[in-house]
Each structure stands twice: as structure tokens, then as C-alpha cells.
Amino acid sequence: MSGYKPGLVEIAQYFAGRANRLDDEAKLQKIFDNPADRGDAKEVILQGFLEDHLPKRCAIIRGGFIFDSFGNKSGQVDLLVTSEFTLQFNQTVGKRETKSFNCVEGTIAAISVNSKLDKENLCKAIDNLATLPRAKEYFMNPYDQMTDELVKQTPFKIIFAYSGVDLTAFMRYLKEHIKTRKLSIEQAPDLIIVNNQYYVAKKQEGHFSRTIGDTSATGSYLYAWGTNYIGGLALLLMVSTIQRLSNLGSLVMLNFLNYQEQIRLSVINDFKAELLDAKELFADE
């Protein structure tokens, strides 16, 4: 470590400690006999971590699906991070919140949570996140190209696992599956974390990394490992990226009226409407 910088050291130690804490909390879930209960519990653990660190403008909800105004719908996603400017679709049964859903324009990140990321679970997670709709209805400054590029990156697709295969095997599976499925850069996952083992991050359009420089092509993957701080670095990268994308809410005006219009035109067959002209109501207009 070049030069002792106590503030940065403490942040690194803090996030490394949180990575260890995630592992410890996940191990406690082995007491559940039902795999579904263990899976739900591990989603809640990561949800709690995100709630502790993301801005209040972000809502972290147990996932359902993501939809767009053209009628497209994703597979079920474990966790969704949504903007404060989007409509919410929360329901409560008794004292328990049910899984929710949201529109693509209002979803900042979509997260797949896995107990162990082996080849089968990796392929399932990649395929599921690839179903996320990409078309968005929104208004923004036509001269603000950077914001437009950031909007295109949402929802940010994350795969998080508490354990996984070794990095060599993982990178082979990742490469094989993306090539076999012929996924586009936009469909491929943006960040994959195997807690306290390694992380794999995709370079985004217009993003400069001091680690890999700006010569690598968009869509290139940086994979990192080999330090006791790797878990903390991965978690910091995840929350920092989501925080950065959450800033878009104040720069982009979401257009939900289009959803109402599309539903009226394409779903409801017995909708009736007539026009009462303003001239019949307001004599001076």
C-alpha cells in the first residue's frame, strides 16, 4: 500500500468487515430445512446491506418482474432498486410485504441473489437478467449526452453470490455462455460478485477505469481477486455504482402517461369515452 491514508484504510476495513458479516449471516441460515426459506433469508440479508448504504431516495424491494410500456415483461428478479420518482406497487398481507414489481424507467438496478454460483446458477442468472426490457419512455435534455448514456445502462444488472466456483472455471463458464447465447453487450450482466472471492465488472460506455485504462472496449470485463479486501471492494463498487445511477432521477422526467394510454388502447376492449368541449362550459374562453 503506497502511503498510509487512514481515512481510506478505515473505509476499506469497514467494507471488508461488512463482507465478512454477510458471510456470517448467510451461514446462520443453514438452520432452515427448506431451501426456499434459506434463499429468501439470503435475499433479505443483502437487502438489509443495501438499505444501510444506499441513499434514502432508493427503494430496495423484494423482486417480482420489470415491465415496459410495450407490454414486455422480465423473469422474476430477486431484488430491485427503484427510484424515488417512480410509481411504487407495494402490497402488504398482514404484517408482511409481498414481492413487488416496477417499470423499467423507474428501476435503477436488478439483482440476482445466489447461495452458490456454480455453472448452472450462473447461466440461469445471466439468462434471467437478459430478459429485462430495455426500451424506456422518458424526457431529458437533448444536449445532455452523458445522462442519456447513463440512462441506457439502467437497470444495472448484478449477480451476487455468497460462494462460488473458482475464478478460472467461472470465467470459462461466463465466456462460453455469453457466446453460446449470443447475448448483446446490453443483455450481459454488468457486475458479478462472489463474496470474499472475486468480482467481475463490465466496462460501460464512457466509463474510464484507472485499473484497466480507457483503451479497453465497451463490454470488456475486469475480473479482480487476490486480496483480503476483495469482498469490501466489490461491495463498495456495487453501492457506489447504484448511487451514481440514482442521481439520474432528478435529470430525467419519467413518462407514466404512456402506460395509461397503452393499456387503454391495447388491453381494455370495453373502454368508452366522449369529449365535452370547453366551449360548452366556459363562455369567455
C-alpha cell at 245: 445511477
pLDDT of residue 254: 77
Beta bridge partners of 79: 62, 111
- Quote the CA–CA distance of 204 and 150 in Å, as a whole number: 9
Looking at residue 190, its amino acid is D
Domain boundaries of the chain, sorted by first residue: 10-280
- Quote the CA–CA distance of 234 and 230 in Å, as a whole number: 6
Q: What is the pLDDT along the chain (285 residues), one digit of tens a residue?
A: 456 688 899 999 999 999 999 999 999 887 766 666 666 889 999 999 999 999 999 999 987 899 998 889 999 999 999 998 888 887 766 555 667 899 998 999 999 999 999 999 999 999 999 999 988 877 766 666 667 777 888 999 999 999 999 999 999 999 999 999 999 999 999 999 999 999 999 987 655 555 555 567 888 999 999 999 999 999 999 999 999 999 887 777 777 888 888 888 887 778 888 888 888 888 765
- Quote the CA–CA distance of 158 and 255 in Å, as a whole number: 26
C-alpha cell at 215: 483503451
Kindly compute the dihedral angle of the four CA atoms of residues 192, 193, 199, 200, in this order, to the nearest 10 degrees.
0
